[in-house]
A and B are shown apart, each in its own frame.
Chain A
Amino acid sequence: MDLTTGPAATPPGAAAPGAGPEAPPVPDDPAALRVVPARHYARWAAAAAVAVLVAQFAHGLATNPVWEWDVFRAYVLSETIVQAVWVTLQLTAYATVLGFLLGTVLAFMRLSRSPVLQTVAWTYVWVFRSIPMIVQLVFWFNLSALYEELGVGIPFGPVFWSVDSNSLIGTIGAAVIGLTLHQAAYAAEVVRGGVVAVDHGQLEAAAALGIPRLRQIRRIVLPQAMRAILPTAGNEIVGLLKGTSVVYVMSIGELFYQAQVIYGRNGRVIPLLLVATAWYVVLTSLLSVAQYYVERRFARGADRTPPPTPLRRARQFVRTLRGAAAQRDRSVVPLRFLGDSR
């Protein structure tokens, strides 16, 4: 039997496939045989069930008067809400940057050879992972009750300079400190996980080349650790973005707090919760897109050929579909997966 897979080398006597009801004799060349894709009946049934549920939900969204879409529309882009979104973004940005900076320092302290640094870092993570964020925030809010003044001087001795603790940090400051310290404890473990995942041979090679220690970390270890850090870090940042809603306990005008203030005034609870939800969804979606491209950037050199972006993949999919349609006209279904990029 001829097993070449070249273009239809139909042996004499074998009719072209799909030639009609007079049951053609089976061609010898497997490449000329017609391929019938597997049918997934259960998948179709599941898709139908999901479609019905989605339709029901969408119908409810559109027709149930409780959603009050006119109220939603009135508030979603209102100045108060947009400003509140800005506060939420600021809190997230500060806490992310500061939290990951502190977390990275803590991670390398934990991984250092100094037992002092190791213990300090371990204790920090233990303490700040143990206190619920909301409790910690209220503590910072009430800092002045604990320490009325903060000063610089000799420990247990005279104080040269001091300042009222409330005026030093303020409410937003207290929130940023609280979020940062909480985030740093988690970031430390995320970064440490990534660093530990880097092949030990990389550090040995860097050490054998005499590359200075800090440079080893910055240039050799961290870029490779980023591959393992980023997915979890993405989680953390999204968690933080939504976690900023907790600072409503400190009466800071972020998104959730302002939504509450408004529905406290007008009693339109559901549409205002919807406003907050919509904004949180939009912001996290943007973060997810950013995460995808950052991850891609840090994957340099990890694959022989970098995977295509979703945009390129979509274009390729369309091209494959067209190709498939063209081929089907010739009664041959292509022997590859649709959308397979390789």
Chain B
Amino acid sequence: MSEVMVDVHGVRKSFGPLEVLRGVDLRVRAGEVAVVLGPSGSGKSTLLRTVNHLEKVDGGWVSVDGELIGYRRAGDRLYELKEKEVLRQRTRIGFVFQDFNLFPHLTVVENLVEAPVSALRRPRAQAEETARRLLERVGLADKADAYPRQLSGGQQQRVAIARALALEPKVLLFDEPTSALDPELVGEVLDVIKDLARTGTTMIVVTHEIGFAREVADTVVFMDGGVVVEQGPPAAVLDAPRHERTRAFLSKVL
């Protein structure tokens, strides 16, 4: 079995009095695709955001490729990292947002070049070459010089995926990547993600697309009420769920 790429251990997180994550454990191995399902408010997105430290955890810890995220361990203490170091860690973790969050004042290719040049100090020419190759991969080579608002939602999300890939991350996190899209645009984005899954990219995908989970996931994780209720191969979790809550959820969305 390959090594553990993402290790989430006993993570807890509250927003004020509301406890959103109540001790979550999750392990994703290198090259594996984990799909996280669950009703809204179950803490899926928050969990994903703790993996790249967009949310600071209140308890437990997260590590990516053996490196603790947001903290440095020395003996029996955890030292909070400075923002600069957290930013460096994030360059290894690609994140794709529900509403794309492309930079509207930059062209598509500038969107892709920005982080490699400023965060990884790549030469601009090299970064641009990579950017154009990635755009070709997501089928948008001809849109390199367009502005994001000139693209459809599906195209914007494909650019956002290419932007995340431009940093050559070890793991890709998708936060409901198709929820803001019109139904007929969902397919083109899922196709790109499926293609990435085939090439062995480690991914955690939060989604409501059960069909996608069945087709692509190595592990399906079902969350409810801030805990992982059930996880396992798609055939087990989706077709023969052991927990009542999983059954109830699936009967509603299938």
Contacts and interface: CB of A to CB of B under 8 A. Distances in A.
Contact of A202 (B103, B164, B167): B103
B177 interface: no
A107 to B, nearest CB: 19
A208 B103 CA distance: 13
A204 interface: yes
Given A208-B95, A224-B104, A224-B105, A301 B118 contact: no
Interface in B18-55: 52, 54
Given A202-B101, A207-B54, A210-B167, A301 B87 contact: no
B105 A300 contact: yes
B187 to A, nearest CB: 24
Interface in A186-224: 199, 201-202, 204-213, 215, 219-220, 223-224
Given A201-B99, A204-B97, A205-B97, A211 B118 contact: yes
A213 B149 contact: no
Contact of B118 (A212, A300, A303): A212
Interface residues of A, number: 24
Nearest to A306: B147
B179 interface: no
Nearest to B95: A208
Given A300-B147, A301-B147, A301-B148, A208 B90 contact: yes
B53 to A, nearest CB: 9
B90 A212 contact: no
Interface in A164-182: none
B104 A209 contact: no
B114 interface: yes
Contacts of B84: 212-213
A208 B88 CA distance: 10
A338 B166 CA distance: 48
In this complex, which of A199, A201, A210, A303 has the most chain B Cβ atoms within 10 angstroms of its Cβ?
A210
Contacts of B107: 301
Nearest to A200: B101
B158 interface: no
A86 to B, nearest CB: 36
B101 A204 contact: yes
A302 interface: yes
A302 B54 contact: no
A302 B105 contact: yes
Interface string B69-105: 0000000000000011001111101010101011111
Contacts of A302: 104-105, 149
Contacts of A330: none
A39 interface: no
Contacts of A298: 105
B106 interface: yes
A302 B150 CA distance: 9
A304 B147 CA distance: 8
B115 interface: yes
A302 B163 CA distance: 20
Nearest to A298: B105
Contact of B101 (A205, A300, A301, A304): A205
Contacts of A202: 101, 103
6 contacts: A201-B97, A201-B99, A208-B90, A209-B115, A209-B119, A209-B163
The 7 residue pairs across chains A and B that have the minimum distance between CB atoms: A210-B91, A205-B101, A301-B147, A209-B115, A208-B95, A210-B90, A201-B101
Interface of B: 52, 54, 83-84, 87-91, 93, 95, 97, 99, 101-107, 114-115, 118-119, 147-150, 163-164, 167
